[in-house]
Amino acid sequence: MSGAGSRMPGAEFVAIVVIGGHSRSVGKTSVVAGLIAALPEFDWTAIKITQYGHGVCSADGAPCDCATADHTWAISEELDQSGESDTSRFLLAGAVRAFWVRTEQGRLAEAMPAVRERIAGSRNVILESNSVLRFLRPDLYVTVLDPAKEDFKSSAREFLDRAGAVILHEGAAQEAGWQSVSLKPVAERPVFRIAPPPYVTAQIVDFVRSSVESARTSDSLRSAQGKLSRAKARSESQSR
């Protein structure tokens, strides 16, 4: 169910797109919202995953000292369409549903059963996260890179080779602030350059649409092949 490599035979296809990035404030949320707005026919369910450090409550994201077993993760559905929060921006852009998942650092696995339940009830899903790639194999992962930002998350580095494309900020920086990070894993991937705003170009939209449609076609072919194989096996069994 979760991505091309982990669907159960006969399960309905749910396209999964993951948008990640190497640092905060590189435009991940803007990319997600832009894709939702540009591809309304996909009826997106949007999920934002946030992992907090010590002293922050996953229940509401506020500072606290209640890091107990009851507060390792939380998930809430966004209902506000004002655009004031990130998940509210997803609804404002046209998402059918939007969820905010909060976990303590390193505790995302505990929230994944609930995340998978939301995915299973959706037509297509777009997630803002890097770390979710430890638990899902999406149909497309796109990473957003900004040479002006020196920070490079370990999760972004870990999954760089799984990126199907790169969205690269064009700016004043002559050299990337993260010189110690090799971009060889994405050397052969499509690179879409942006000068925000906007964060999403027609080329990015076409690429995502094509990737999802290709994944859907491949899933249909696998399903048809599976049915033929099962029918052949039954026929051979009955003829013995």
DSSP class of 50: E
Q: Is the pLDDT of residue 6 over 60?
A: no
- Alpha helical stretches, state H, the chain: 28-38, 86-93, 108-120, 154-158, 202-238
Asked if residue 128 lies in contact with residue 49, where contact means CB atoms within 8 angstroms, the answer is: yes
State pLDDT tens for residues 95-144. Answer: 999 999 999 888 999 999 999 999 998 999 999 999 999 999 999 999 99
Whole-angstrom distance, CA of residue 160 vs CA of residue 157:
5
State pLDDT tens for residues 205-230. Answer: 999 999 999 998 887 666 655 555 55
User: Measured between alpha carbons, how far is residue 82 from residues 51, 88, 89, 102, 113 in Å?
Assistant: 24, 6, 7, 21, 29
Task: State the DSSP string of 102-170.
Answer: EEETT-HHHHHHHHHHHHHT-SEEEEE-SGGGGT---SEEEEEE-TT-----HHHHHTGGG-SEEEEE-
Asked if residue 51 lies in contact with residue 108, where contact means CB atoms within 8 angstroms, the answer is: yes
Asked if residue 194 lies in contact with residue 168, where contact means CB atoms within 8 angstroms, the answer is: yes
Q: What is the pLDDT of residue 234?
A: 64
Cis status of the peptide bond prior to 197, with omega within 30 of 0: yes
State pLDDT tens for residues 41-90. Answer: 999 999 999 987 655 554 555 665 444 456 688 999 999 999 899 999 99
Q: What is the pLDDT of residue 166?
A: 96
Question: pTM of the predicted model, to two decimals?
Answer: 0.84
**Residue 207 CA to chain centroid, in angstroms?**
15
Whole-angstrom distance, CA of residue 64 vs CA of residue 56:
5
As given in the structure block, the two tokens for residue 135 are 């638990």
Phi and psi at residue 138, in whole multiples of 5°?
-75, 165
Asked if residue 84 lies in contact with residue 92, where contact means CB atoms within 8 angstroms, the answer is: no
